A = this chain, B = another copy of it.
Amino acid sequence: MNNKQTLFVQMVLDAWNTHIARLNKLFESLTDEELQQQVAENRNTGVYLLGHLTAVHDGILPLLNLGEKMYPELENIFIKNPDKPMPERPSVTVLRQYWNDVNNALAAHFSKMSDDGWFLKHNAVSAEDFIKEPNRNRLNLLINRTNHAANHLGQLTFLKR
């Protein structure tokens, strides 16, 4: 561990936290009715993107070896399937709670992670491949998930009329 490594982990966590804060602010500023609108004509609804982001962030838990998913049922509804009426889809109120639950659980885990721990492999890469591609580590996964969040944040801002 050296100073630059510590600094770098902080930089990546700062970018992640900034995007969670921006998404929280946006979601909190939108009514349930506004969230149920499509972000653009014939595009995903805000509530689908809320569920999608929650499901993807929930998936970080097993990928980083931090535990099981909290809400595994979301994957089928919000990742494997496109935005469509599904009887098992949770209400907006429940999804808002899940979103906070998942991000709070991640924050608690991240605060305990050592700097060196971030450079360990994640669970979507084999030990063999990781030797050849040491960039496929936990920190890199968080960089990618932050960009994913930024991508959908750009779309969700369209719900502010």
Contacts and interface: CB of A to CB of B under 8 A. Distances in A.
Interface in A103-161: 119, 134-135, 137, 139-140, 143-144, 146-148, 150-155, 158
A10 interface: yes
Interface string A75-105: 0000000000000000000000000000000
Contacts of A146: 147
The A interface, classified by DSSP as helix, strand, loop or mixed, is helix
A71 interface: no
Interface of A: 2, 4-5, 7-8, 10-12, 14-15, 19, 39-41, 43, 119, 134-135, 137, 139-140, 143-144, 146-148, 150-155, 158
